[in-house]
Amino acid sequence: MLFKLALLLALGAAVQAQSKDWWETASFYQIYPRSFKDSDGDGVGDLKGVTQSLGYLKDIGVTATWLSPIFSSPMADFGYDISNFTDIDPLFGTMADFDNLIKEANKKGIKIILDFVPNHTSDEHEWFKKSIKRDPYYKDFYVWAPGYIVNGTRVPPSNWVSVFRGSAWEWNSARGEYYLHQFHKKQPDLNFREPRVQQAMKEVLEFWLKKGAAGFRIDAVQHSFEIRPEYDGNFLNEPRNRDDNDVDSYGYTQHVFTVDQKETTEMIYSWRKIMDDFKKANGGDTRILMAESYSPVDVVMEYYGNGVVNGSHIPFNFLMLQWLNDKSNAHDYENAINTWLNNMPKGKTANWVMGNHDKNRVGSRLGEDRMDLVNTILATLPGCSITYQGEEIGMTDVFIPWEDTVDPQACNSNPEIFQWFSRDPARTPMQWNNSKNAGFSTANKTWLPVSSNYLTINVESEKKIADSHLSFYTELHKLRKNKTYTNGEAQVKAINQNVLGIRRSLKNDSTYITLVNIWDQLEFIDLSIAFPETTSSEFEYVFVNRRSQHSKKDKTKAYSITLMPKEAVVLKSTSSELY
């Protein structure tokens, strides 16, 4: 009897280990709603536009999306300045449009993740207005400090600098104090040391969970807490960075008191509990947290959990995005990828990110002829792949002159240096077809200009071409659903200076090998040097990019593989004995 029970339990555990939860193998897609699809011709994308495009997302293999903010906002930071966390901005539509989006997305099996922006609100939020008036409930909702009078002049509470340049402190004459804004001055920082703020934000999360959100992507988590104030209500200066003498530059100080305070991880754990409790109470699929933070690896790894409690299901992995550039070789790729895999706590899920609305596009950063290589790598690594809208069709940055620049991070600078800061080039409208405004909008003027390359780089045209960026992406994301990819082991190795190899294997199943030639020489590869188990094995080509001279179904021996410059291929073992 006991023996039978033990056997059943063991079997149960084995079965569980095999079947992954939806998010562990998801193909995520980031939608920047302003630039995705404009349904009403005002030049700005909206929720109805997203709903209309769900079929497209399904077709290309996307299983979950995360939407940049769609909430009420004066748009000083294009939606990251929220004036009401539980209402839809009219620019994007209505609550009914949101409900409809969820309904249609559910029908197609696509999860909708919302952007949660806890660090700050808009200065037009009711909470801030009440805090200014020292309303008894709201007075400590924000980070207020008196500052100093020096020789008759008022000076800020500390030398802290905003991410968007200039002092992070703004004087508010109505309250007679400074408030902290780590971003735009229209984005006052919430005070997470005030339990009422934590409660208010918990209610925001629960509101959207009830509305059907599958989880949240948490914005700028590392900025949530600041050091505690001094006895006089002011704050300690941050130490100077010797190599930056521009007082307005974010690099002027070392951010030891304004980012990565130890309370941050505890807060993430408490938000995770909200997700888990909601599922316990209401059933349904797991609701997830994706935490955005550009913190050091050891800090980010703590977001996963501490071995006792769980944290963010997916702390965004920005290592590839931050470490790789157009000079990187295969060893650099190996290092960026394995640093994450080797540091990740056992049993957690990896994720792979190469772009978002804050960074230059992959084709512009790494070279247009590397876009398919990058998509091949992201799709064949273990865990979640995360695509920023437009990367699947190979969109590139669009030059926006100073006069037309709208991003506050760039507008806070000057015509000489704005290009270093502007995030507009990666935010231009999605290119759907070769009609007016690339099919994005019927407006005469879109909020940012459409790229001039839209006649060829667009969804409709690329669908019809077998070796387009989009066809490759779609093919890879089908391949990714194979069991070896969803459940298998991974080994990532530079085969030489120029070629990266990714081996995916699963007991009793096919082994897959991704090979990408990052540079411009012809390469002759013996696979068994990197992956000894492959000696004398035969492989079949199951994916080839435009540079390849092979066709799918071609066979090759492991010891003699030729790769063209910038070629990307996936090989599949012809027998399953390789493991």
Residues that bind Ca ion (CB under 5 A): 38, 40, 42, 44, 46, 119, 189, 223
What secondary structure letter does DSSP report for 404? G
Question: Which does residue 89 bind out of ligand NAG, Ca ion, none, counting CB within 5 to 8 angstroms by kind?
Answer: none
**Binds 19: which of ligand NAG, Ca ion, none (CB < 5-8 Å by kind):** none
Taking alpha carbons only, the member of 211, 226, 312, 302 closest to residue 270 is 312
* Closest residue by Cα to residue 390 from 435, 356, 358: 356
**Is 326 a residue that touches ligand NAG (CB under 6 A)?**
no
84 binds, among ligand NAG, Ca ion, none (CB under 5 to 8 A by kind): ligand NAG
Report what 435 binds from Ca ion, ligand NAG, none; CB cut-off 5-8 Å by kind: ligand NAG
Q: Pick from 342, 508, 536, 575: which binds ligand NAG (CB under 6 A)?
A: 508
For position 117 contacting ligand NAG by CB under 6 A, the verdict is: yes
Q: What are phi and psi of 189, to 5 degrees?
A: -70, 135
Q: Quick one: what does residue 44 bind among Ca ion, ligand NAG, none, with the CB cut-off 5 to 8 Å set by partner type?
A: Ca ion
Closest separation in Å from C-beta 520 to ligand NAG: 29
Least separation in angstroms between residue 538's CB and ligand NAG is: 14
Q: Using CA atoms, how far apart are residues 477 and 490, in angstroms rounded to an integer?
A: 17
150 binds ligand NAG (CB under 6 A): yes
Comparing CA positions, the residue from 495, 476, 469 lying closest to residue 543 is 476
The nearest distance, CB 413 to ligand NAG, in angstroms, is 15
Closer residue to ligand NAG (CB): 267 or 330: 267
Q: Is residue 439 close enough to count as binding ligand NAG by CB under 6 A?
A: yes
Interface segment toward ligand NAG; rule CB under 6 A; list 244-252, 256-264, 295-303, 476-484: 476-484
In the bound complex, what is the minimum distance in angstroms from residue 120's beta carbon to Ca ion?
A: 7
Using a 10 angstrom Cβ sphere, with 0-12 exposed, 13-18 middle and 19 or more buried, the burial of residue 212 is middle
Judged by beta carbon, residue 80 or residue 340, the one nearer ligand NAG is 80
Integer CA distances (angstroms), 210 to 47, 224, 271, in order: 19, 25, 15
DSSP string, 32-51: -GGGT--SSSSSS--HHHHH
| DSSP 8-state class, residue 182 | S
Q: Are 373 and 518 in contact (CB under 8 A)?
A: yes
Minimum Å gap between C-beta 119 and Ca ion is 5
Q: CB–CB of 139/92 below 8 Å?
A: no
Instruction: Give yes or no for residue 551 binding ligand NAG (CB under 6 A).
Output: no
- Total residues belonging to the chain: 579
Active site residues: 219, 292
* Span of 191-199, 248-256, 257-265, 478-486 interacting with ligand NAG by CB under 6 A: 478-486
Stretch in the footprint of ligand NAG (CB under 6 A) among 76-84, 128-136, 262-270, 466-474: 76-84
Q: What angle do CA 392, 30, 287 make, to 5 degrees?
A: 130
Among 322, 325, 435, 497, binds ligand NAG (CB under 6 A): 435
Cβ proximity to ligand NAG, 77 vs 567, nearer residue: 77
Is 379 in contact with 502 (CB distance < 8 Å)?
Answer: no
Q: Is 549 left (phi over 0), alpha (psi -120 to 50) or beta?
A: alpha
Residue type, 333: Y
Among ligand NAG, Ca ion, none, residue 86 binds (CB under 5-8 Å by kind): ligand NAG
Closest CA to 572 of 551, 530, 546, 543: 543
DSSP 142: B
Looking at beta carbons only, is 213 or 330 nearer to ligand NAG? 213
Q: Please give the Cα distance from 445 to 533 (Å, whole number).
A: 58
Q: According to the binding rule CB under 6 A, does residue 507 interact with ligand NAG?
A: yes
CA angle 230, 236, 239 (to 5 degrees): 165
Asked if residue 40 binds ligand NAG (CB under 6 A), the reply is: no
The nearer residue to Ca ion, 114 or 221, going by C-beta atoms, is 221
- Judge whether 525 and 559 are in contact, CB under 8 Å: no
Which value, to the nearest 10 degrees, does the dihedral of the CA atoms of residues 518, 521, 524, 529 take?
-40
DSSP run (H or E) holding 84: strand 84-88
Sequence-distant (≥ 6) Cβ neighbours of residue 136 within 8 angstroms: none
Q: Are 393 and 362 in contact (CB under 8 A)?
A: no
Cα atoms in the Cβ-side hemisphere of radius 13 Å centred on 392: 32
The token duo for 474 is 């779609």
Among residues 48, 361, 427, 572, the one that binds ligand NAG under rule CB under 6 A: 572
Contacts of ligand NAG in 2-31 (CB under 6 A):
none
Element (H, E) at 338: helix 330-343
Considering beta carbons, is residue 151 or 342 the nearer one to ligand NAG?
151
Closest CA to 37 of 60, 17, 1, 67: 67
Nearer to Ca ion, 225 or 512 (CB): 225
The size of the interface with ligand NAG (CB under 6 A), counted in residues, is: 32
Q: Which residue of 8, 9, 17, 86 would you call a contact of ligand NAG, by CB under 6 A?
A: 86
Binding to ligand NAG (CB under 6 A) within 258-297 occurs at 292
Q: Residue 287 or 572: which CB sits closer to ligand NAG?
A: 572
Should residue 220 be labelled a site residue for ligand NAG when binding is judged by CB under 6 A? yes
Least distance CB 94 / Ca ion (angstroms): 12
Q: Which of 16, 19, 199, 444 binds ligand NAG (CB under 6 A)?
A: 444
If the CB atoms of residues 379 and 518 are measured against ligand NAG, the closer one turns out to be 379
Residue nearest to ligand NAG (CB): 439
Q: Which two tokens stand for residue 106?
A: 């559910």
Rounded to the nearest whole angstrom, what is the least distance from the CB of residue 201 to Ca ion in the complex? 12
- Residues 331-360 as x/- pattern, contact with ligand NAG by CB under 6 A: -------------------------xxx--
- What is the binding site for ligand NAG (CB under 6 A)? 77, 80, 84, 86-87, 117, 126, 150-151, 183, 219-220, 292, 309-310, 356-358, 432-433, 435, 439, 444, 460, 478-479, 481-482, 507-508, 542, 572
